[in-house]
Amino acid sequence: MDLDLAVAQAHQAYAERNPRSAELHRRASTVMPGGNTRSVLHFEPFPFRVASAAGAELTDVDGHTYVDFLGNYTAGLFGHSPKVIADAVVEALGSGFALGATHATEIELAELLCARFDALERVRFTNSGTEANLMAIGTALHHTQKTGVGVFEGAYHGGVLSFGHGASHPLNVPHRFIVAPFDDLDGLDRLFADSDLGCVIVEAVQGAGGCIPASHEFLSELSRRCEKSGTVLILDEVMTSRLSPGGAQRLYGIRPDMMTLGKYLGGGMTFGAFGGRSEIMAHFDSAAGGVLTQAGTFNNNIVTMTAATTAISQLLDDDRLEEVNRRGDRLRRSLDETLRGGGLWVTGRGSMLTVHAADDRLLDLYFHAMLAAGHYLARRGFIALSFEIEDAHSERLQTDTADWIGRLEG
């Protein structure tokens, strides 16, 4: 098969189906470089523009409806516009917002999170997962009075903390990073050989890096070596906290010194959190001699605080969480079985999975074939299931995937 020709045909067919989105893309590109303000949302030839979203579905401005398998890169665990969250936010707005003062809802959220995650003895809020990781790293270096930050190849801890497999990201913050291979026990020597290593930050399952789970041995050994050397272990649970009611730390049986959160825990609103051992977080407590301060106009904004407390206390049911993760495991296995013969494969854990291809044109073809069949996933193959995705949705994705592979091979 001529893959270049097939991709060109898929793009042309998509462009013909989406004239309104095409027009909006032209308009957007005259005021936003690339036509967007979140680079990952772009795909060729141009992304569709959403007109409305409800439950498991997105409807675009050209009238197509997609089942949303992307789930806002894990932030959309509760599906689109759950009424209970919308009602709570509207009610809270009625008693004032942009308060510029403390209030009780932020305490409730902190209590809910500290009760949920074993490593979280004290917590503070930010506006994004990126900011939470920046704060955690800064706090850990202040605590240890060291300069080295251990990270892993393929890791993504935010737009300015991005570690691919090649050259370092031009927008990364200028910490002294020591990069080691992920899930490689021998590679850990590279980190711990550094005499000024202050902290190590790790995802239990690399999300943006392709949904690659670490082995239990790797995380236990990393945790053991951090403890032995007095290095602060930061577990980035921005995505993985959804993998069990107690997060990935419970699945893996580790207890990091610090952890970060974000995404779905904000109930769909802008959110991040960092925290951990009270001794470390005490650097923010002037009464305990701490000298660190945390700024952020919107850290305790009433919209996020309300959406998050409502989501966690009313929607984040343990059984539903276990079920969405079981459903993800089933979907990953069945898609992988179907796609393997065609040069694609699927990795992940629970409700986070990624379709990979040795040739990126194949992945582009798969992505466009699924769009044409009414399924939205990330262009890079990422899928994050929401509570609104049911077995019937997964089965239809599976059937359409099998049909596509059949056509590709035929």
Ligand X SMILES: Cc1ncc(COP(=O)(O)O)c(C=O)c1O
Binding footprint of ligand X on the chain (CB under 6 A): 73, 128-130, 133, 156-158, 203, 207-208, 236, 238-239, 262, 272
Question: CB 262 → ligand X: shortest distance, Å?
Answer: 4
Closer CB to ligand X, residue 263 or residue 283? 263
Distance in angstroms (rounded) separating the CA atoms of residues 11 and 243: 35
Distance in angstroms (rounded) separating the CA atoms of residues 385 and 71: 6
Question: CB 133 → ligand X: shortest distance, Å?
Answer: 6
Closer CB to ligand X, residue 47 or residue 158? 158
Question: CB 127 → ligand X: shortest distance, Å?
Answer: 8
Tell me, letter by letter, the H, E, C secondary structure of 304-353.
HHHHHHHHHHHHCCHHHHHHHHHHHHHHHHHHHHHHHHHCEEEEEECCEE
Token reading at 186: 């021998």
Question: CB 55 → ligand X: shortest distance, Å?
Answer: 23
Closer CB to ligand X, residue 30 or residue 39? 39
- Is residue 317 within 8 Å of residue 87, measured between CB atoms? no
Closer CB to ligand X, residue 36 or residue 334? 36
Question: CB 368 → ligand X: shortest distance, Å?
Answer: 23
Alpha-carbon distances, residue 333 vs 87, 354, 388 (angstroms): 38, 11, 20
Question: CB 161 → ligand X: shortest distance, Å?
Answer: 7
Residue located via tokens 């305990």: 288
Closer CB to ligand X, residue 207 or residue 348? 207
Closer CB to ligand X, residue 79 or residue 207? 207
Alpha-carbon distances, residue 20 vs 23, 37, 49 (angstroms): 5, 19, 8
